[in-house]
Amino acid sequence: MSKTKIAIVQLTRIGDVIQTFQAAKQLKLDHPGTSLTLIARRDMAHGLDFLLSEVFDNIFYLDIRDFISHKDSKLKDCLGSISEYIEKINGLELDLLVNLSFNKSSSYLATLINAKNKMGIRRNEVNQLAIHDKWSQYVYSSIMNSTLNPFNLVDIFKYTLGAKTYEPSYVESPRENKIIVHPFASTRKKRWGTHKWVDLLHKALKDNPGFDLHIVGAKNDEQDALKLVEAPALQEFSHRIHNETGLNSIEQTHALLSRAKLLVCHDSMVSHLAAVTQTPTVVLSLGTVRPAETTPYQHNVLNIAPRRSCFPCQAETACELLPCHKDISHQMAGQIVSAILQEQTLDRSFFEKEVSPFYLNSVSVFAPHFSEMGMELIDITEAAQTADDAFKAFYRIIWSFYLRGVDAAYPLPNLSPESASTLYEHQKGCSNLFELYGFGMKYSKSIIEEAKKNEPKVSKIQEYIAKLSEVDQLASLTKGTYPHLKPIIDFFFVNKANASGNNIIEITESNLLSFHEARNLTQIMFDLINKTVGPSLQNSSVKDNSNDSKKDVEV
Amino acid sequence: MSIQEEIHKAMKDLSNSSKKGGESHMLSSEDFSLLLLTSLIEDEGENVKN
């Protein structure tokens, strides 16, 4: 029997390539007979060759310099080079192509490559974006546009690829008294300034005299690393600080991490590399970072994140004062670093006894928990959850049920009064949405009935299509009033836009199913909110409210 | 004609053909190769030698 041949397109950054490697490794463990091919940008993946070759049978690097080789290149030759590149991949006769990146280039590449089946974004023959599998529709609608995704990216990649098991195996290995520090990140929003790092490193070195500190980073981080090592406050420890910024290859950094007892960093490629080496890691999440999505996929990680309504922010949101940077105190981060190095248990009693409530009020300290639901983050300070936390928990239940068929039992969240109030408000949104999707079903059925008649009236069908358009517009307005319902609304908008079918009846039947599923998920969301905010606030169901809702929704 | 001018012209031709053909204009493999090339240039423009 011949091997199943799968190719993965991953055209984003190094961290995403590492996360793809982690998911693909699991797939290979589950299905050792599968032949795996990776297509990635050369500058993002070549440095990871030593890892990628463990899992991938073939690697195709993408580099524009291979297509436009010199200044006198002609377009015909460039297109010819692209065609040769594609032909080489097509020579593999792929069974499945999975595009795990969601950018324009990857959509064109996935269109050009032949495969018996395709997943992820690509283009149809008239250059419209096409996303046919539900996990990719989920990523496109929820990850690209919302901060309420509860799943780790590695889990999403695994689910998309069909990897069965979920828990990374842990192998204990001997480690030296080294602390690795990667105090850099791709944007200013995602990283502390030098002075905060100086304060943290001073505390870590002072409290842990038996440890040396290694600073790692890329060539373009060298200036910032110098500011750090030359800081007057750190001079007394200079003999214990090793600045390796710009000196190490990724493979050398991987080897260093393999021997170290701890990595302290922001969200970055190095944090994901430490997940591969299973190095205990403390991540300081700031700015646009979404801990649920990007926490390094391993057991030994703590992710410290601000508890602030504007966190995580959007990349395009301007922010000069960076208040979330002040939410994480260097004192508390230093206490956590020392506790890990001294092998203390970090649980609620540790935080109650050792850490000032003043520092804890503004942060969550997340630890991973692996289960059938994938990697979940648990706030080990056990503080009351925010409305965002609660909705992420609900969405974990809803999407696991809908996309994976996993019926999960999950403890209802412990809410602050403000969060309970936000949830309560969203019950009304659920009622409106439930009714809107009911109208969607009604008009979809009307289109199907009319189209199946011997002499269908086009004007009738157009009238019903206009009604469906109104349903979409009103659902979009609902997002503005009830932003926590955005993931359901956006998912089903994308799902309907990619409805399968070759004629109006088949496409409308797909849409009818979408409206039906959307309505069911809205009902589940209502029930989850109702159970959580409890009898003290409200004790009714969506159906009970539907008469009241009709006052607000008219289609 | 430089490569940039060639790409600019080819993209303009593709855009005009799409406008004429409307939603029914089917793109060829060569069209998608051109779109991929253009998109890669957008992504990594600094690497392109003029």
- Chain B residue with CA closest to A111: the answer is B32
Residues of chain A positioned with their CB less than 8 A from the CB of B31: 127
Q: What is the mean pLDDT of chain A?
A: 92
Q: Is A374 helix (H, G, I), strand (E, B) or coil?
A: strand
Confidence tier at A372 by pLDDT (50, 70, 90): confident
Torsion of CA A423, A429, A410, A148, to 10 degrees: -80
Confidence tier at A165 by pLDDT (50, 70, 90): low
Query: Which residues of chain B are at the A interface, by a Cβ-Cβ cutoff of 8 Å?
Result: 2-3, 6-7, 10, 18, 23-27, 29-37, 39-44, 47-50
Residues of chain A positioned with their CB less than 8 A from the CB of B11: none
Residue A102's contacts (CB-CB under 8 Å, 6 or more residues apart) are A120, A121, A139, A140, A143, A144
- Chain B residue with CA closest to A74: the answer is B3
Min mean pLDDT across A15-24, A243-252, A366-375 is at A366-375
Quick one: tokens of B10? 């080819």
CB pairs under 8 A between A and B: 75
Q: Which of B6, B7, B33 to mutate to test the interface with A (most CBs of A within 10 A)?
A: B33
Residues of chain B positioned with their CB less than 8 A from the CB of A67: 37, 40
Mean pLDDT of A500-504: 93
Residues of chain A positioned with their CB less than 8 A from the CB of B49: 68, 70-71
Quick check: A536 pLDDT over 50? Answer: no
ipTM of this complex: 0.91
Q: Which of A87, A101, A127, A128 to mutate to test the interface with B (most CBs of B within 10 A)?
A: A127
Quick check: B49 pLDDT over 60? Answer: no
Residues of chain A positioned with their CB less than 8 A from the CB of B44: 64
CA of B13 vs chain A CAs: smallest distance (Å): 14
Mean pLDDT of A61-80: 92
Q: Is A512 helix (H, G, I), strand (E, B) or coil?
A: helix
Quick check: B46 pLDDT over 80? Answer: no
For residues A188-217, b (16+ Cβ closer than 10 Å) or e, as one string?
Answer: ebbbbebebbbbbbbbbbeebeebbbbbbb
- Chain A residue with CA closest to B4: the answer is A75
Confidence (pLDDT) at B45: 59
Residue B15's contacts (CB-CB under 8 Å, 6 or more residues apart) are none
Mean pLDDT of A72-96: 96
Mean pLDDT of A353-364: 90
Closest CA to A285 of A264, A300, A306: A306
User: Are A324 and A287 contacting, i.e. CB atoms less than 8 angstroms apart?
Assistant: yes
**Separation of alpha carbons A17 and A27, rounded Å:** 15
pTM of the full structure: 0.93
Confidence (pLDDT) at A551: 41
Quick check: A549 pLDDT over 60? Answer: no
Please provide the DSSP assignment of A302-331 as one string: EEEEE--TT-S--TTS--SS-HHHHHS-HH
Residue A126's contacts (CB-CB under 8 Å, 6 or more residues apart) are B23, B24, B25, B26, B27
Closest CA to A412 of A435, A452, A385, A448: A385
- Chain A residue with CA closest to B15: the answer is A127
Mean pLDDT of A154-158: 96
Parallel/antiparallel/unpaired status of strands A35-41 and A5-10: parallel
